[in-house]
């Protein structure tokens, strides 16, 4: 059994993991940079260890510092959270070489899904629909031209090692192909040290819909329904909801079953998310995230499963405590990502928080590590809180979220709360009628900036 978990992360997700550990009677070890010495996850953990200076390369992204901290504190497992080292297969392998349990999938699955060309092939072989595109890597402009003629314009060139929307470029027609191809290769080489690119048909008005799965090491796999994460800006999710307003129960169950079947076929273990674009009634796989996601709480709110707890149980070798038929979906949930940034220009706004008051009441959950007097450091991601709300139906959820946003007080810095409040009054959003480009148009940005 796992008795002590080192949490290799910071902020709200470190707290989220710490809470699950405490409820399971598991000791927690926080790690932190010198900039995070006053952070809530450090204060609440059973033990804490400083692992380096503020720069992430020297602290939260330093595998040696983290594994040393686990060894010194006698932790028997590491939960990586999201971001940082969570999808680094070498780190997961290194953890296991030190006889420490990695709370996540096998290093092989992380590696496979991190290589998007290989992932797409494995996923297609397992029976999941993918975006029509090149057959693997495109190695020359000539091959790019032939592929584009075959699949039809507009096309999207993507980096095999891609992430965070980097290395992607649209070509509207053959005149723009050469520039897009060269741009994508160069950015992929610079950002990821791997210039391999592939091509996909560019979908004009899709929604981003993803399916949550949980799998144990005994071959049991369940899906926990979908999340709609179409409200994005520069490929960053802003607000997520479950279930998707664009799917009916039959479509939702069908994609869940397809994914479950595929995960069983590839022998996946732990929590994972399969991301799709959904357009004109069809699903197209884009990538798989082999980790816990920021937006996992909307799933927890509608099905009552504690995803972090299940990840820990599965990592310790226990079978899932439920079958697919035990999973019931109740009502509707939404999550607002609240960032320390100007709500309209999106410029970061780190600094000291003055008054702080979190909303409460029935169906309201706030996952955050901030407090009055806390100084938001400038070194890390700008997300400082997640406001998650549940209602018996989408309309009740919307009204509750609107109410909860009105109660939220974070003084001293700018936050994205006013953007969320504006969304709550937008007729398209209220009707569930939006695609992945809608938000950028709403805030007045050029569309399709891929």
Residues 6+ apart with CB under 8 A from 148: 155, 171, 174, 177, 199
User: Considering beta carbons, is residue 7 or 159 the nearer one to ligand ADP?
Assistant: 159
Site string for ligand ADP, 272-311 (x = CB under 6 A): ---x-x--------xx------------------------
Q: Judged by CB, which is closer to ligand ADP: 201, or 261? A: 201
Smallest separation, CB 119 to ligand ADP (Å): 10
Contacting range for ligand ADP; rule: CB under 6 A; set: 90-98, 159-167, 299-307, 411-419: 159-167
Segment lying near ligand ADP (by CB under 6 A), choices 49-57, 196-204, 366-374, 421-429: 196-204
Closest CA to 103 of 9, 175, 37, 172: 9
Residue 162 CB, nearest approach to ligand ADP (Å): 4
Buried/exposed code over 267-306 (b: 16+ C-beta within 10 A; e: otherwise): ebbbbbbbbbbbbeeebbbbbbbbbbbbbbbbbbbbbebb
CA–CA dist 288, 275 (Å, integer): 6
Q: Are 109 and 269 in contact (CB under 8 A)?
A: yes
Residue in 16, 227, 291, 309 annotated catalytic: 291
Which residue in the set 121, 233, 235, 403 belongs to the binding site for ligand ADP (CB under 6 A)? 235
208 binds ligand ADP (CB under 6 A): yes
When asked if residue 131 is in the footprint of ligand ADP (CB under 6 A), the reply is: yes
Q: CB 387 → ligand ADP: shortest distance, Å?
A: 22
Closest CA to 284 of 433, 431, 436, 137: 436
DSSP secondary structure string, 75-130? -SEEE--SSTTTT-HHHHHHHHHTT-EESSS-HHHHHHHHSHHHHHHHHHHTT--B
Interaction between residue 132 and ligand ADP (CB under 6 A): no
Cβ nearer to ligand ADP, comparing 216 with 226? 226
**Distance (Å, whole) CA 350 – CA 339:** 10
Burial class (CB in 10 A: 0-12, 13-18, 19+), 16: buried
Rounded-to-integer distance, Cα 189 and Cα 185, Å = 6
**202 part of the interface to ligand ADP, by CB under 6 A:** yes
Minimum CB–partner distance for residue 398 and ligand ADP (Å): 23
**Is 436 near ligand ADP (CB under 6 A)?**
yes
Cβ neighbours around 361 below 10 Å, total: 10
Backbone φ and ψ for 339, nearest 5 degrees, come out as -110, 150
Is 178 within 8 Å of 141 (Cβ atoms)? yes
Residues in contact with ligand ADP, counted by CB under 6 A, come to a total of 20
Residue 203 binds ligand ADP (CB under 6 A): yes
Exposed, middle or buried, 350 (CB in 10 Å: 0-12/13-18/19+)?
Answer: middle
- Which residue lies nearer to ligand ADP by CB, 201 or 403? 201
CB of 53 to ligand ADP, least distance (A): 28
Q: Does 163 help bind ligand ADP (rule: CB under 6 A)?
A: yes
DSSP conformational letter for 348: B
Q: Which helix (H) or strand (E) holds 429?
A: helix 427-430
Q: How far is the CB of 107 from ligand ADP (least distance, A)?
A: 19
Assess whether 291 carries a catalytic annotation: yes
If one asks whether residue 156 binds ligand ADP (CB under 6 A), the answer comes out as yes
- Helix, strand, or coil (residue 444): coil
Rounded to whole angstroms, the Cα distance separating 7 from 404 reads: 30
Stretch that binds ligand ADP, among 50-58, 161-169, 183-191, 294-302 (CB under 6 A): 161-169
Residue closer to ligand ADP (CB basis): 277 or 312: 277
Q: How far is the CB of 116 from ligand ADP (least distance, A)?
A: 7
Residue 361 beta carbon to ligand ADP: minimum distance, rounded to whole angstroms:
33
Q: Indicate the SS3 state at residue 325.
A: helix
* Comparison of 208 and 386: residue with beta carbon closer to ligand ADP: 208
Rounded Cα gap, residues 296 and 196, in angstroms: 31
321 DSSP assignment: S
Choose which of 12, 36, 187, 200 interacts with ligand ADP (CB under 6 A): 200
Q: Which of 129, 136, 165, 267 contacts ligand ADP by CB under 6 A?
A: 165
Q: Is 162 in the site for ligand ADP (CB under 6 A)?
A: yes
Residue pair 32/380 in contact (Cβ under 8 Å)? The answer is no
* Min separation Cβ 313 and ligand ADP, Å: 29
**Selected range binding ligand ADP among 36-44, 201-209, 299-307, 368-376, rule: CB under 6 A:** 201-209
* Stretch of 37-45, 155-163, 318-326, 379-387 contacting ligand ADP, by CB under 6 A: 155-163
**CA–CA separation, 288 and 271 (whole Å):** 11
Which chain residues interact with ligand ADP by CB under 6 A?
Answer: 131, 156, 162-166, 200-203, 206, 208, 232, 235, 275, 277, 286-287, 436
Residues labelled as active-site residues: 291
């Amino acid at each position: 059994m796992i008795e002590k978990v080192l949490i290799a992360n910071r902020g709200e997700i470190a707290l989220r993991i710490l809470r699950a550990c405490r409820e399971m009677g598991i000791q927690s070890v926080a790690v932190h940079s010198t900039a995070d010495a006053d952070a809530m996850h450090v204060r609440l953990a059973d033990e804490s260890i400083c692992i380096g200076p503020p720069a992430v390369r020297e602290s939260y992204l330093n595998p040696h510092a983290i594994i040393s901290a686990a060894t010194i504190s006698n932790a028997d497992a590491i939960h990586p959270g999201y971001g940082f080292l969570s999808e680094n297969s070498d780190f997961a392998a290194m953890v296991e070489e030190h006889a420490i349990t990695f709370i996540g999938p096998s290093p092989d699955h992380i590696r496979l899904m991190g290589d998007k060309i290989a992932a797409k092939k494995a996923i297609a072989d397992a029976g999941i629909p993918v975006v029509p595109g090149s057959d693997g890597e495109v190695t020359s402009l000539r091959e790019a031209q032939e592929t584009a003629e075959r699949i039809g314009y507009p096309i999207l060139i993507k980096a095999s090692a891609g992430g965070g929307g980097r290395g992607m470029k649209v070509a509207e027609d053959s005149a723009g192909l050469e520039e897009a191809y060269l741009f994508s290769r160069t950015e992929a080489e610079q950002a990821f040290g791997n210039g391999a690119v592939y091509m996909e048909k560019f979908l004009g008005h899709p929604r981003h819909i993803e399916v949550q799965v949980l799998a144990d090491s005994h071959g049991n796999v369940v899906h926990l329904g979908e999340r709609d994460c179409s409200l994005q800006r520069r490929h960053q999710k802003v607000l997520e909801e479950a279930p998707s307003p664009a799917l009916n129960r039959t479509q939702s169950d069908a994609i869940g079953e397809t994914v479950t079947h595929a995960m069983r076929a590839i022998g996946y273990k732990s929590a994972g998310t399969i991301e799709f674009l959904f357009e004109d009634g069809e699903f197209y796989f884009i990538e798989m995230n082999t980790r816990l996601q920021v937006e996992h709480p909307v799933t927890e709110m509608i099905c009552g499963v504690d995803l972090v707890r299940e990840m820990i149980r599965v990592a310790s070798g226990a079978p899932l405590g439920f079958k697919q038929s035990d999973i019931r979906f109740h009502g509707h949930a939404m999550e607002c990502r609240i960032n320390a940034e100007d709500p309209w220009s999106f410029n970061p706004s780190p600094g000291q928080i003055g008054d702080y008051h979190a909303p409460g009441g029935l169906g309201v959950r706030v996952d955050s590590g901030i407090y009055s007097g806390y100084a938001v450091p400038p070194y890390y991601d700008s997300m400082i809180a997640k406001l998650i709300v549940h209602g018996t139906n989408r309309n009740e959820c919307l009204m509750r979220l609107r109410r909860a946003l009105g109660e939220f007080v974070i003084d001293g810095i700018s936050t994205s709360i006013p953007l969320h409040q504006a969304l709550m009054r937008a007729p398209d959003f209220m009707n569930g009628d939006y695609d992945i480009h809608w938000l950028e148009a709403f805030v007045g940005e050029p569309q399709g900036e891929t």
